[in-house]
Structure 1
Amino acid sequence: RDAVDVYDIGSNIVANSIPLENTRDGDAEDILVTEGGDRLWYSFGITNPGSLTLNNYPEFLRNLSMPLIGDIDLATIDIIRDRERGIPRYNEFRRQIGLNPITKFEDLTTEPTTLAELKRIYNNDIEQIDALVGQLAETIRPDGFAFGETAFQVFILNASRRLMTDRFFTESYTPEVYTQDGIDWVESNTMIDVIRRHFPTLDFSLTGVENAFKPWDLKIPEDYKQWAACDKESLLWT
């Protein structure tokens, strides 16, 4: 996304759209004060993130102003950096992490325009596809995940290693380190509880939400009597 859409709590109508470049550095603190933490949490909760796919790179990051450097295209840098650092091309990368290589471009996608562009850019040679491009082009994705098979394997491996090598998740996850109250707190609280505790105004918006990190469903109280005039479809009420 190239903007942060801010909603009033309980609404699905954008109240304020903030360009992403205006959220950098100290400006983020000002936005938090101006918009309010509860409205921002609600807005993040009901908003889907940008899809990790081709042709969806934020324009903000393709013309990113950097102090002492100037404007950079981070999308281009991502490709060049991989090549300079010896990251294998997509098919070889899959081989090295134990996945089967693709045998044709159609194994990535069957969308005609994307398929034609990939074949043109890589001279109809699947072995030339950059690792990042190939991963973003994958259309077959594990259920519930925003990325394809290749990134999924890397994610599972690194997420597991991160947990296994953190003693506070393993041998030090004990009452002696956390205290029993601390253990009970960790075991009985979720991110939903944390949000509710800090922002009680979001209690109703979180009703029925099982995972705070998935988009929240908008809900309207059944016994709400006074709907905003001519605005039922926008789910606004008074």
Structure 2
Amino acid sequence: MSLALIGVGIGAVNAPVVEAAGTAFYLHCGTCPSTNGTLNSTSPAGATSATWALGTASQACKWATTSSTTGSQIIVASDVFTFTFWASNSHSGSQTAAISAVFGYSSASTCTTVTTIASMPSFSFTLASLAGATQEIAPTFSPASNITVPTGSFFCWTITVATANVNISFLWDATTTTTNLNSSQTIFIPELLLALLGLGVIIPLAARARLRLPLKSHGGCRT
């Protein structure tokens, strides 16, 4: 069994196309717009949300994976992306803002230069008077064509303020604001491969010792 799991992990490194299961990229850390945040597949575990006031039009904030890919992979045109996020309104009256976003890859974790995989069109949302953390789900979007992501790439998620409103804040990185980008296709990132390979080692060791090991969740800024 362990050999089979290790084989799955190794095969995934060079898998050209995978269209099952899906991958969620959770947003962590960052001080928008000055400091980039990080992306990984672990849901946030903290109690306090990170916040970004959407008060400046065209202002952008980026989140990126912290390790580069170990093999090339194809993101297919039929992949469906869904962005789920939270926002709040500090004003006594309904307020509207809009954001757009780009999912892409870069040769550097700073994501200074990004090659687009798929773009999320401008999404306008309205929050009720003095609304606390409110979940919003943008319309789904997909790549315009199959995109080959080369080895050594970092995945990047860039959000841009399309319609500014200083009263509305974008929220992420807490158990109550698990902002994430979901891909219907499995996108292999280093931590996912390590998890697959790790299972190949952990399972036989646990079986020999007849231990039942609880899964432990790790949140926050993972590097």
Higher helix share: 1
Relative to the length of structure 1, the TM-score reads 0.23
Q: Highest CA radius of gyration, 1 or 2? A: 1
Higher strand share: 2
